[in-house]
Amino acid sequence: MNDSRTESAAAARADVSAVAAAEASLLVARARALAREDRPAAASVGEMVDVLEFGLSDETYAFELTHVREVSALVELTPLPGVPRHILGISCVHGGIIAVLDLRKLFGLAERGLHDSRQMIVLQSAGMDFGVLAERIAGVRRLSLASLQPSLPTLNEVRAAYLRGITPDGTVVLSAARLLADPQLVVSQNI
Residue 60 lies in a domain: yes
Q: Are residues 77 and 20 in the same domain?
A: no
Q: What pTM was estimated for this model as a whole?
A: 0.69
Same domain, 28 and 56: no
How many whole angstroms separate alpha carbon 30 and alpha carbon 166? 28
pLDDT number for residue 173: 94
According to the model, what pLDDT value does residue 9 have? 59
Domain span at residue 76? 48-185
- 59 has a pLDDT exceeding 50: yes
**82 and 20 inside one domain:** no
137 with 119: CB under 8 angstroms?
A: yes
Tell me whether residue 191 is in a domain. Answer: no
Look at residue 40 in the predicted model and tell me its pLDDT: 41
pLDDT (mean) for 140-165:
80
Q: What's the 3-state SS for 75-143?
A: CCCECCCCCCCCEEEEEEECCEEEEEECHHHHHCCCCCCCCCCCEEEEEECCCCEEEEEECEEEEEEEE
27 and 117 share a domain? no
Q: Is residue 143 part of a domain?
A: yes
Q: What's the chain's average pLDDT?
A: 79
Long-range Cβ contacts of 12-16 (<8 Å, 24+ apart) = none
Same domain, 97 and 74: yes
Contact 173, 148 (CB under 8 A): yes
Q: Are residues 161 and 82 in the same domain?
A: yes
CATH number of residue 90's parent domain? 2.40.50.180
Report the half-sphere exposure of 170 (CA within 13 A, side-chain side).
5
Q: Is residue 190 part of a domain?
A: no
Question: Do both 8 and 61 map to the same domain?
Answer: no
Same domain? For 55 and 112 the reply is yes
Three-class secondary structure assignment of 14-51: HHHHHHHHHHHHHHHHHHHHHHCCCCCCCCCCCCEEEE
- Tell me, yes or no, whether 6 and 73 share the same domain: no
What's the total number of domains in the chain? Answer: 2
For 75, phi then psi, to 5°, come to -80, -55
